[in-house]
Amino acid sequence: MNHSLAQKIYTKQGVTKENVFEHKKVLHIGCGNSKLPGAIGVDMLKMPAVDVVHDLDVYPWPFEDNSIDGLVAHSVMEHVTNIVSFFDEVSRISKQGARVVIEVPYFRCVDSFTDPTHKHFFTSASLDYFLENKNSLSGYGYSTYTYIKRGFWYGWPQQSSNLLVRWFKSYIEKHAHFYDQYLSMLFPVKVLFWELEVKK
């Protein structure tokens, strides 16, 4: 997989209709009936697009250690019970260097609170606890596994054609804490995206 898997999936035209996984074994967890082409669909509900029926709160997941090349979790992590266990399990089943693309609703977005099944809320720093030891939060040691952050986006991962939007997103990504704490009250985004690399 090349530089940014997230930008291949979430294109300027919308979510890709093509297989961008280059013959890699990639899980699309919580896929419902909108499974990404070329991915293995995982969901707790049995639907036509679902290849593996499994509740993500039940561990271990039905995949072997070091068996997948990538994972996409779109609107999933806000529903799982234990975020630490989720990341531990992703690391267990992933190969070294596997890419993990995550999308969640931003904590300032009203949609975060509308769905009564949402259990967690996210800021730009929420996944720092699981990153390699280059920030103050990773030292908490919630997990023995670590990830490398390869990308982070407020909103859609693609660059906007609007110059003002491009400038604003560039500014808030450089000053994420200031945005989360203050500016987001005036100009909230709807979603956050990460692309992580599994480090073993």
pLDDT, mean over the chain: 94
Q: Kindly state whether residue 167 falls inside one of the protein's structural domains.
A: no
Beta bridge partners of 197: 99, 148
Structural domain including 143 reads: 5-159+191-199
User: Is the whole model's pTM more than 0.85, yes or no?
Assistant: yes
Query: For the chain, what is the domain count?
Result: 1
How far is C-alpha 102 from the chain's CA centre?
1
Report residue 1's pLDDT band, with 50, 70 and 90 as the boundaries: very low
Q: What is the mean pLDDT of residues 111-138?
A: 90
Q: Kindly state whether residue 178 falls inside one of the protein's structural domains.
A: no
Q: Kindly state whether residue 186 falls inside one of the protein's structural domains.
A: no
Residue 56, both tokens: 């993500």
Q: Which residues contact 170 (CB under 8 A, 6 or more apart)?
A: none
For position 34, which CATH number holds?
Answer: 3.40.50.150
Q: How far is 172 from 181, CA to CA, in rounded Å?
A: 11
Q: Kindly state whether residue 171 falls inside one of the protein's structural domains.
A: no
Q: Kindly state whether residue 40 falls inside one of the protein's structural domains.
A: yes
Q: Is the pLDDT of residue 132 over 90?
A: no
Q: What is the pLDDT of residues 50-97, one digit of tens each?
A: 999 999 999 999 999 999 999 999 999 999 999 999 999 999 999 999
Q: How far is 116 from 113, CA to CA, in rounded Å?
A: 7
